[in-house]
């Protein structure tokens, strides 16, 4: 695996930044619908809709914090070369490539499908410290650590 890990990090940062922006726009939409015009009589259904919108806005606020935390972590992780599975490594595990950094959806980089996993993910516990050629067990399955970069 000959990866430009800076490009992988930049791709992840770009995708997470776009996700944060999208979540922020949704948050602002919900916040604006949660506000009631106090200069006019308020109908019960308007009050109920405003309360639901407020609940959504609160949930999205947590999502915004999660994205901001992911971006901060991505900027701080050492993506230097690795010989064993650790934070900042790219790992080819039974044919799939994972970035040990933050959890992400699948994404394309260098023409390859990757997925980010955090060091808090259950699978990370099973593969932490493994080196290329080793077999690890996860959920009752044997997984081959093919490459680590």
Q: Could you read off the pLDDT of 15-25 as tens digits, one per residue?
A: 999 988 887 88
Residue ranges of E strands in the chain: 90-93, 96-101, 106-109, 112-118, 135-138, 141-148
What average pLDDT score do residues 53-57 get?
Answer: 63
Q: What pLDDT band is residue 63 in, cutting at 50, 70 and 90?
A: confident
Cα dihedral sign for 86, 89, 90, 92? negative
3-state secondary structure of 116: strand
Strands lying side by side in the sheet with 135-138: 106-109, 112-118, 96-101, 90-93, 141-148, 135-138
Query: Which residue blocks in 77-136 are alpha helix, DSSP H?
Result: 122-127
When comparing pLDDT for 47 and 132, which is higher? 132
What is the per-residue pLDDT for 20?
A: 82
* Tokens read off for 97: 């490539």
Is residue 50 pLDDT above 70, yes or no?
no
Mean pLDDT of the chain: 85
Question: In the chain, pLDDT over 70 holds for what percent of residues?
Answer: 77
């Amino acid at each position: 695996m000959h990866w430009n890990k800076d490009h992988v990090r930049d791709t992840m940062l770009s995708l997470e930044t776009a996700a944060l922006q999208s979540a922020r726009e949704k948050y602002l939409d919900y916040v604006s619908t949660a506000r009631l015009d106090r200069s006019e009589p308020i109908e019960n259904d308007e009050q109920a809709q405003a309360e639901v919108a407020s609940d959504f806005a609160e949930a999205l606020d947590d999502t915004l914090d999660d994205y901001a935390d992911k971006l901060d972590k991505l900027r701080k992780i050492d993506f230097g070369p690795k010989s064993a599975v650790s934070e900042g490594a790219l790992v080819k595990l039974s044919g799939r490539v994972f970035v040990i950094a933050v959890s992400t959806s699948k994404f394309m980089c260098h023409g390859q499908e990757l997925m980010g996993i955090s060091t808090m993910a259950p699978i990370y516990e099973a593969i932490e410290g493994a080196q290329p050629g080793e077999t690890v067990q996860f959920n009752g399955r044997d997984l081959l650590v093919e490459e680590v970069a």
